[in-house]
Amino acid sequence: MRIVIAGAGSIGCFCGGLLAAGGHAVTLWGRDRVLDQIRAHGLTVTDFSGLERHIAVDGLTLAEDPACLSDAEAVIVTVKTPATAGIAGDIATHAPSVVPVVSWQNGVENARILRAAMPGRDLRAGMVPFNVVPAGAGVWHRASSGDIVIGPGPGRLGPALSVSGLPVIESARIEAVQWGKLVVNLNNALNALSGLTLVEQLADRDWRRLMADQMAEALGVLRAAGIAVASTTPLPVWTSPHILRLPTPLFRRIAARMLTVDPAARTSMAYDLLAGRMTEIDSLQGEILRLAQAWDRPAPLAERITGLVRRAEMAGPGLPGLTPQDIRG
């Protein structure tokens, strides 16, 4: 297939690299700060399991112009949520109307934004469970495990997109899966505020208790709103706060069966703060706060954490290095 990655950042470059290595004709549509690395070094994707693929620059199409969408057979959107509305307009203008458009983005509202801009198209919500970190010189590294899930639709898009190292599963419960991922991704903010790697954070029971309390708060809000939540791990989502609160040796034993995390992994929000970029806090804790207000539910942790991330954004590049006690206030 001729696939355009719309907004090629960390997730887009990693997935685009594996799709190209799997035989697809991939166009990375993005910004010069990302594409210039690939022009100079080619694209290399690696992961925690030892996977490594290198795609020479002539094995990809690199583009900054949305006109690259004109001959696409599939479009995968990987921009951050605030950029979704703008890129949706470009896709609506330039991509053929019969082309499926898939959102591989954080949050739950992106598919709705895309669908509103492109009514009647094959528009699929999606969930990417793993995180990808930039490793410099055209290298992107997958630092945690999991398979991509997309919504159902005509044809066999999931199998068509599946390549070695990148299975894509179709699920009729995609919205519940997205909410489950959002609950997990609430830790993006805690990890960014901590300044720790994910492994360091998960090894500390005080951090895990704070993670558990935040998840329990969010699950209570979602329950009040009548929103179904599907787990992104083999265990039901409601068990996650209980598992996080376990003593560290027992937690490690259970967690090892559920998720693989690279020792150097941090969340995408940590990289945003390190680079002085705005974060996706509105698409994570912000969703919980909007529902809490609508359903008259308290969400003090979501409110406190949102405020701390906003303060960190205003402070400029760097990680605050807060403790769980700092965050609880």
In a shared domain, residues 123 and 11? yes
In a shared domain, residues 183 and 306? yes
Q: What is the mean pLDDT of residues 19-41?
A: 96
How many separate domains does the chain show?
A: 2
For residue range 265-311, list pLDDT tens digits in order. 899 999 999 999 999 999 999 999 999 999 999 999 999 999 999 99
pTM to 2 decimal places: 0.91
Q: What is the mean pLDDT of residues 242-257?
A: 91
The confidence score (pLDDT) of residue 233 equals 77
In a shared domain, residues 143 and 237? no
In a shared domain, residues 264 and 304? yes
In a shared domain, residues 45 and 161? yes
Provide the domain limits for residue 17.
2-171
User: Rounded mean pLDDT of the chain?
Assistant: 95
Residue 182 clears pLDDT 90, i.e. is over it:
yes
In a shared domain, residues 165 and 259? no
Per DSSP bridges, beta strands 43-47 and 52-55 are antiparallel
In a shared domain, residues 152 and 192? no
